[in-house]
Structure 1
């Protein structure tokens, strides 16, 4: 199926003025990955494979997790057993560092900055990602938002074809950023993000309204502008409106489908200012051809 036919089918409008999906003028499938993924024997009892690593960044409550969920749903991975999944997702929140006693007290009062790079154990994240790229089975800890600490529970990540890593600062640390084969930035309006964060933190994380608003104004918003937003320039694909951007999700799913089934990636043509700018026409139609029967909405 030609690229022009895919675009017609999806009702994509190429526009210089409205940014829907920005794709760098190059292969999305970078030089870091060969067309055929390497597979080799592993000592932990599972078939080892070098996965395609995708970073998903964006501000708080921008829809990063939802974008990852949509991708997994469309690829039919959401309800598979962990050992059978070919696409898995990991949250950067699992790599918050252990707080000191004084930091824990400040966190309980909503006075600790969890959006600052120093709040994360980037070395541990780097080690886990390198193990994943080496085709190893890894244990990823679970973070407890109520107690602001790493819980005793963890979940096992088995070798997979595609691994999604989502978090506010996944592009901030250079050594981590260089590991990604594709980088997505979920770009959502700040008012929308705040409107999502307030009820989430109150209902799911046991915060009160005053604490949530104070934390947002004193820590979350300044940290986003200083640390998260500047990493947008590293993204290969920028997704406005997050999971509501159906065309962007379908484009990414189509590319992941090609990776999973070892097809040669499609080269995207130039658009305005060296980027392809795609406006979501709201049709929500699939962009793929051979995968259309499988990618369920």
Structure 2
């Protein structure tokens, strides 16, 4: 039986990781769940990018070409071999890769307003020791531009668009119920063969 593979895309700090962790918690009493963090699959050598309006140079983290989608796909294949009931994969640009998109049984785009994503990113990255001005400049000069160019358009691939504002408790619980139902149906089909 093939695991149910669900992908989560959306802007940085939209709530993808939080939602996936919550889903894992909700599902694990009933199903085995593997979580793949797509941020582990950036290429080793990242190019610089020039911000379109300020001309400032930044390391490029927000273009699909900086993702090692082949390594991510190999990791998915390896996890499938371990035969969990469910695999959850999250990465902002996940739906940019057609090969991976085609592996997904469900695609969830986590939507969240830009101001809320910026506030979350500032809080998160400052906890990592980054400077407020540095984070703000990078987001305004590069992240939002690339979000509009590459991430936002992938919402059209989504089966579900989930509101990532605040804590999307109801939506997360609905997705958990759907995953549990689909995985249970798959198990039933396997045992009836």
TM-score by length of 2: 0.85
Residues 115, 223 of structure 1: 8 Å contact kept: yes
For residues 130 and 181 of structure 1, the distance between their equivalents in structure 2, rounded to whole angstroms, comes to 14
For residues 185 and 239 of structure 1, the distance between their equivalents in structure 2, rounded to whole angstroms, comes to 6
Q: Is 1:223 aligned to 2:146, yes or no?
A: yes
For residues 225 and 116 of structure 1, the distance between their equivalents in structure 2, rounded to whole angstroms, comes to 11
Displaced runs of 4+ in structure 1, greater than 3 A?
A: none
Number of residue pairs aligned between Structure 1 and Structure 2: 180
- After superposition, the Cα gap between the structure-2 partners of 1:244 and 1:211, relative to the gap in structure 1 and judged at 3 Å, is same
The 10-residue stretch of structure 1 (121-130 or 236-245) with the greater mean CA deviation from structure 2 = 236-245
Q: Is 1:249 aligned to 2:172, yes or no?
A: yes
For residues 249 and 243 of structure 1, the distance between their equivalents in structure 2, rounded to whole angstroms, comes to 12
Residue of structure 2 equivalent to 1:112: 59
- Indicate which of 96, 112, 133 corresponds to 2:42: 96
For residues 173 and 116 of structure 1, the distance between their equivalents in structure 2, rounded to whole angstroms, comes to 12
| Shift of residue 130, structure 1, vs aligned partner | 2.6
| Shift of residue 261, structure 1, vs aligned partner | 2.6
C-alpha distance after superposition, 1:73-99 (max 9, x if no partner) = 22245xxxxxx9701211110101102
Residues 26, 176 of structure 2: 8 Å contact kept: yes
Structure 1 segments unaligned to the other structure (5+ residues): 1-37, 39-49, 78-83, 104-108, 137-158, 265-297
For residues 257 and 112 of structure 1, the distance between their equivalents in structure 2, rounded to whole angstroms, comes to 40
C-alpha distance after superposition, 1:191-210 (max 9, x if no partner) = 00000001111112x31111
Structure 2 segments unaligned to the other structure (5+ residues): 49-55, 188-193
Query: Considering only aligned residues, what root-mean-square deviation do their CA atoms show, in Å?
Result: 2.3
Bigger fraction of residues in helix: 2
